[in-house]
Structure 1
Amino acid sequence: MAEDSVRSGRDGEKIANEILKLVGWGSASWNMDIDCSFPSRHKPTVKNNPHHGIDILYSYDNPLYHDRRDIIIGSVKHSENGYPSSKSYELTQHLTDLAENLDCAKQSDNILQLVGNSGLQTHYKGLLFCLSSLDTEKEYDLAQHINNDIDFGTNKFEEIFLVDNKRATFLVSSIKTAESYWPLSEIKFLYQNTGKNMEKSQLLLSGKKLPIQLINSEIIPIVKEEKETGKISCLIFCNNPYSKENVSRLIWLSHKLCGLTNEIRIYLPNYDNNKEYEINAVKQLFKDESFTTKITFHRFSKFDIVSLKETQNNTFYAQPKQDKQVELTHSTQISDDIDKILPFGDFLIPKLRTSILSEVNLQDFLTRKGIVTLKKSKNDILPLFSCLLLSPDELDSLKATYREKEDKPKEIERTATVNLGSKTLWETFNELFPDLKSITKSGLPKNCALVGAPMLERVGKNYNHLVVKYKIEKENTNKDFLTGKTFHDAQMEIRYENNQLTFIDQHTSSETYKLNKNYFDNFQKALKKNNLSVEEFKSIQFLDFANNERIQFLLSFLKIQDSKAIVIKKITLDSMKFRTDETLSKLPKDLESLKGRVSNLNLHGKELHDTIYLSEDEYRIAILCEKVRFNVIYKYINRDGICSIEVSFNGALGLKGYKDTELRISITPAPNSFDNNFTSTKALITKEINKIRDDNYTQYKQKQNINDTI
């Protein structure tokens, strides 16, 4: 067994070494030890021998950042007989071990002596090869087993990039295919404009080194120059299947990346030349025919990475020559419609800044891509995205998350005391404010329109229960994450009983929220104008609570697990959004470092259950909590299902300070839920959640009143 393990490890290093040669990292150092700088916290790993073994050490000036040098600390794991059955557990161990290596590498004098001092900003990145030689796992996606809740303790690192069989096979296949085209011409990787590498004197459009940010990418752009003629070809490899939509996006990408190169060859894993007629039809949608006629599509062959361990050679790597700084220009006649493009760099970042996509959404996306980061705030995460090339499938996954969150129904409930005399609610509308029976587009932006002519109606035969349901059509612009037309549902429900008027606002997009709010404001004015208001509308507000009491109130919704109406099998606190309260004169020491941070923090999974922010009073009074989300596994009647319950004061935490906003509640089914009648289940859960809300808010107000009288 020991010999098998040694042989497997040696074979893994052979494969990884050949891959590093292919990406221009052939001079990487192998198998070195560094002292452990933190033996007390790394004790379980280093035991009685306080050092770390590093498989790979490599450094280079990053061509995607004009002032940065990346130092790569790598680890190689290889299995002859396939990935282990406990994939998530083993992968977690490998990631935490590499995190410890990165933590100590930054303190190592040995590493600094080896890589030297370039005068550039130094950034340490982790590279984890997890490879399998099993034939049935040639393109296995191990990244899907990365646990979102890995506890890295106090170890600090920026990112770890995973190269598994799927990513290694695509990377090697792309480079080997490129090598076979014009075999006498050398491989150069094309560097996209990130917005961070724009200094003219340092701009390298292409070079022999592939930056780590692209090492597990699903898009690999390569440049080759024919020596005799000087003809420049750009080869773009994409690991997504063929489709007309993907063709359109890749044509746009090649336009932005390659400019006026002589030839553009786009490679897909399953392209069939019989689809050429579809390709030509897509090309006709672009105005610049002189550009599109240079583009051809091809299939790339899959290379067996296991064979790399048989091709070892002692290649001499001479000092690379200075790369030519060729200015590539392009036509401006191709549009930037988000549904037809693959945005990157300065094209992508403004779209990701939308408040709809949270830090957690971006972290989850990176994890699925095989990139693990400890960065929490959006401002810290976005610079990494500026250096990525997203494939069509990856962009679609972000758009799906965006669309799902934007379409998620949010509910606000407001109550008031009114005196309608002997009239019903329906009669009051008919007699005193008939204009409010119809919904107008007043308050909608110019790019939105109402679908149809929505009218206020009675619920059944109840003259004191009214509802209006409507839909808007939104014409998205190129600045939005989605383009073209999208549709968004909303409704408003008004109930009157025992002089209590309840107004329930249910919206999806920000536009439907604004329209509902505009209608509510007009309705409230009409009540006052006709002297029907006894007490004004009230809703639960962010500033109703002190900091610690707000957290207590938000966490009180966990009590749904005690419901008698539905069986709650499991409920977990999935995420929490908060920031430090900088108005306080004294903060806990570890919160002081968060002062002045523009972005809010998101914690999720295991981090939440272990965090002192929830358990200790000195922290609860020092943070402003805007949102919590729970994941619920339930059984109702004979139906099993999964849903999320989000309780938030949406928008309370602005860029500077905070503002008063109303409580919103959203209940949505999970994608993997088996409940085939969620509408019925949601109605019950909503009823239970509203009861918890009302009971706890009433208790809080009663307690507050008692304290005020003491």
Structure 2
Amino acid sequence: MAVEKEQIKEVLPIGDQLRAMISQSFLTGKQLRDLLSSKGVFIDENDKNKSVPLLMNTILSPKEFLQLVENQQTKEEKFKVNTLTLPCKTDKPLLDIIPSNFSINKIIKENIVYKPNYKVKANPQFTYTGKDKKGIQLEYEIERENRTKDWVNTKTTHKALITIEKKANNEISLVLTKSYTSKETNEINEMVLRNLKDHFKNANIVKEEVDFVRILFRDFTNQNRIQFLYSFTSPALSRHLEFIEITDLNVHIDPNVDAPQEIKEFISGIEKLKINGKELQEHIFITKNDYHEKIIFSSISLKYKFNFNGIEGNCIIEYSFPAYLFKQSTNAEFQFDISINVNRKVKEFANVNELHKNISKIIENQKLEQFEKYKKLVE
């Protein structure tokens, strides 16, 4: 999400206008305390009850206000990633299989009868992702009207990305990246994918009966699902991405699977358990293989260190089946989302969007490979 620069040029918030922004949860007490310190005002605690009233009586510089906005973006602009594959055969270059009259704005108009509260900026088109022309991408941004929040957020922007790659056997793999903070970009992505699928069928690139293949909760046994999720801790993941620890687990007990008495006694009375901590890879739910047939992992969060051409930092990636986590739906689709924290020394040189793409690419490759390894065999 982003705040339009024109808003900052017109007016800087003070008093109650500023309070509406700095009192929100995306800004921590420490961040506000640091801001006060930079203005020569010192308090002894990271307490918003102290920092908010003081800041309401100060005037922020444009640079200080942008710093607050960037903190908001870091907190809220998080991407979810879903992968879909579409079995088909084609020898054509990828750009040649996209409709010549492709228009994302036209697709939206054909799918929505009312005037939406957003608009797509410009007229984005698919382009090659690299010189090798092995992939194409549609990168776009929407501007959304939202008058339910404070004045800073009446107009916000949200990014999204669709990537199409061709596998070695000429099967096309569609990789869909969705903005975490915007359900609108999710809806637009789905509209575009449906439009492309229909076009591929009309062009005889895809058979009429073929549909997208998604990674779903029900594609795994309990044991294999845990192994699939744990595979993202592999040291062989990438030389750019080093696993550090498991930080969060969401565990459910499967009532339909019988278990030895030892396990029953240990997990007696537990239906759903959220575990937070450090180095959870040593937790008994992970290390005790006998438990894996009885328990269900709906999400797991892993912490990594990264280094891309000297840009260093850490990130937390949550791998999850959200619809199972919240609704126990076995049709839940697998996704991951990435929170990136760049080291302060190199932050000014970092492009977070590029880091996100690089990390996503590593995870995507691992995900598709491990899905083939651990998915249930079709009977």
Per the TM superposition, whether the score is higher than 0.5 is yes
Q: CA deviation at 1:470?
A: 1.0
CA shift digits 1:630-675 (9 cap, x unpaired): 2222445545432233322333322x42242333233443154545
Indicate the percent of aligned positions where both proteins have the same amino acid.
23
CA shift digits 1:340-392 (9 cap, x unpaired): 9x68xxxxxxxx8xxxx9xxx9xxx79999xxxxxxxxxxxxxxxxxx97974
Looking at structure 2, the residues matched to 671 and 462 of structure 1 have their Cα atoms a distance apart, in angstroms, of: 29
1:494–1:436 CA distance, 2 compared to 1 (3 A)? farther
What is aligned with 1:532? 205
What is aligned with 1:500? 171
Looking at structure 2, the residues matched to 536 and 576 of structure 1 have their Cα atoms a distance apart, in angstroms, of: 32
What is the one-letter code of the residue matched to 1:484?
A: T
1:633–1:503 CA distance, 2 compared to 1 (3 A)? same
What TM-score, normalized by structure 1, do the two folds share?
0.39
- The count of residues paired between Structure 1 and Structure 2 equals 328
2:277 to 588, 600, 605: 605
Looking at structure 1, the residues matched to 237 and 130 of structure 2 have their Cα atoms a distance apart, in angstroms, of: 29
1:614 to 277, 286, 299: 286
What is the one-letter code of the residue matched to 2:365?
A: K
Q: CA deviation at 1:700?
A: 1.8
Q: CA deviation at 1:411?
A: 2.2
Looking at structure 2, the residues matched to 646 and 695 of structure 1 have their Cα atoms a distance apart, in angstroms, of: 18
CA shift digits 1:441-468 (9 cap, x unpaired): 3567832222222223345677774322
CA shift digits 1:50-107 (9 cap, x unpaired): xxxxxxxxxxxxxxxxxxxxxxxxxxxxxxxxxxxxxxxxxxxxxxxxxxxxxxxxxx
Higher Cα radius of gyration: 1
Contact 1:429 1:436 in 2 (8 A): no
Q: CA deviation at 1:521?
A: 1.9
2:239 to 558, 565, 568: 565
What is aligned with 1:448? 118
> SS of the counterpart of 1:661?
coil
> SS of the counterpart of 1:472?
strand
Looking at structure 2, the residues matched to 366 and 592 of structure 1 have their Cα atoms a distance apart, in angstroms, of: 40
What is the one-letter code of the residue matched to 1:665?
A: F
Contact 2:246 2:279 in 1 (8 A): no
> SS of the counterpart of 1:665?
strand
What is aligned with 2:269? 593
Q: CA deviation at 1:485?
A: 1.5
Matches within 5 A, 1:228-627: 245=13, 247-248=15-16, 338-339=20-21, 392=52, 403-420=73-90, 423-430=92-99, 434-435=101-102, 440-442=107-109, 446-459=116-129, 465-478=135-148, 483-496=153-166, 498-508=169-179, 509-534=182-207, 535-559=210-234, 561-562=235-236, 565-566=239-240, 568=242, 571-582=244-255, 588-589=264-265, 591-595=267-271, 601-606=273-278, 608-617=280-289, 619-627=291-299
What is aligned with 1:690? 364
What TM-score, normalized by structure 2, do the two folds share?
0.68
Looking at structure 1, the residues matched to 84 and 150 of structure 2 have their Cα atoms a distance apart, in angstroms, of: 31
* Unaligned ranges ≥5, structure 1: 1-243, 253-337, 344-351, 370-387
* Unaligned ranges ≥5, structure 2: 1-11, 33-47, 56-64
Looking at structure 1, the residues matched to 245 and 118 of structure 2 have their Cα atoms a distance apart, in angstroms, of: 38
What is the one-letter code of the residue matched to 1:499?
A: N
Looking at structure 1, the residues matched to 140 and 298 of structure 2 have their Cα atoms a distance apart, in angstroms, of: 29
What is the one-letter code of the residue matched to 2:108?
A: K
Q: CA deviation at 1:499?
A: 3.0
Looking at structure 2, the residues matched to 516 and 631 of structure 1 have their Cα atoms a distance apart, in angstroms, of: 28
What is aligned with 2:329? 658
Looking at structure 1, the residues matched to 120 and 266 of structure 2 have their Cα atoms a distance apart, in angstroms, of: 50
Contact 1:572 1:632 in 2 (8 A): yes
Contact 1:556 1:696 in 2 (8 A): yes
What is aligned with 2:373? 699
Higher relative contact order (CA 8 A, sep 6+): 2
Q: CA deviation at 1:553?
A: 0.9
Looking at structure 2, the residues matched to 671 and 636 of structure 1 have their Cα atoms a distance apart, in angstroms, of: 11
Task: Quote the RMSD (CA, aligned, Å).
Answer: 4.4
Q: CA deviation at 1:489?
A: 0.8
1:629 to 301, 304, 316: 301
What is the one-letter code of the residue matched to 2:84?
A: R
Q: CA deviation at 1:439?
A: 6.1
Looking at structure 2, the residues matched to 339 and 437 of structure 1 have their Cα atoms a distance apart, in angstroms, of: 33
What is the one-letter code of the residue matched to 2:269?
A: S
1:504–1:562 CA distance, 2 compared to 1 (3 A)? closer
Contact 1:438 1:455 in 2 (8 A): no
Contact 1:339 1:483 in 2 (8 A): no
What is the one-letter code of the residue matched to 1:689?
A: I
Q: CA deviation at 1:248?
A: 0.9
